[in-house]
Amino acid sequence: MKQNEMEELGVKVHAVVADVIQVILLKRLGQAEEIGQVAVFLSSPLVSYITGIQIVCGGGMNLVVSALFNMGVNQSGD
């Protein structure tokens, strides 16, 4: 959904982004350069012994999502 479509529905995009930033552990959105640095690292000889790994570039957001998911699972009795 585009920003103008969201605003037509009464959603304040800047407020949503501010709320998202508050739950990210690093308290900021990532920069394209930071993702690029990971890509450069993964294409370098420094990873010659890495055979399989998941690298998450999310500023800690994955931990928050995981915690929320686990809370939901625990509350539902699963």
Q: Can you spell out the DSSP letters for 46-78? A: GGTT--------STTHHHHHHHHHHHHHHHHT-
pTM: 0.57
Question: Could you report the per-residue pLDDT of 27-36, keeping only the tens digit for each?
Answer: 888 899 999 9
Question: Could you report the per-residue pLDDT of 45-76, keeping only the tens digit for each?
Answer: 999 998 888 888 888 877 777 776 777 655 55
Q: How high is the pLDDT of residue 37?
A: 93
Number of domains in the chain: 1
Q: How high is the pLDDT of residue 4?
A: 82
Query: Domain span at residue 10?
Result: 3-76
